[in-house]
Amino acid sequence: MSKLFFDGLFDLNKVEAEIKKAFPEKETREESESLVGNIIHDKVLEKILDNLPQNSHIEFLELYHKCPHDEEVIFAYLKGKAGKDIKETLKKELENIDSDILEEIRPQDEVSVESQIPKK
């Protein structure tokens, strides 16, 4: 997977370990890793666009596609357009993304949340 400007914002080691444990087959594991990557990518872009003025969305996406790995350039652009430190905003808003993903990956108890009655 290629490096993206937001890769250093959160630690996904637990998620990667859980994927390896849950999906020992290479093909399934790679598919799961890809899905997790897509989820994170979408969340990051959603949070950025939420914090940027509407008239800067296209310009940001063009910059992102031009240099997706360049953390310095992208965060400087975002700070200039949003008037605040988007990097810190992303860290705060996405600090629980690993636990949210782990919750989805890990097997759930055999108890229905709605009824609290075992499903068996």
pLDDT (tens digit, 0 to 9) for every residue of the chain, 120 residues total? 568 999 989 888 889 999 998 889 999 999 999 999 999 999 999 999 999 999 999 999 999 999 999 999 999 999 999 999 999 999 988 888 888 888 887 766 533 444 444 444
From residue 71, alpha-carbon distances to 59, 92, 109 in Å are 16, 17, 40
* Residue ranges making up the domain that contains 74: 10-104
- The reported pLDDT for the residue numbered 97 is 87
Give domain status of residue 110, yes or no.
Answer: no
Q: Does residue 118 lie within any of the structural domains?
A: no
pLDDT of residue 110: 36
Residue 2 lies in a domain: no
How many structural domains are present in the chain?
A: 1
In which residue are the tokens 């990097």 written?
87
Residue 108 confidence (pLDDT)? 60
Structural domain contains residue 5: no
Whole-angstrom Cα distance, residue 38 to residue 48?
A: 15
pLDDT at 106: 76
Is 86 within a domain? yes
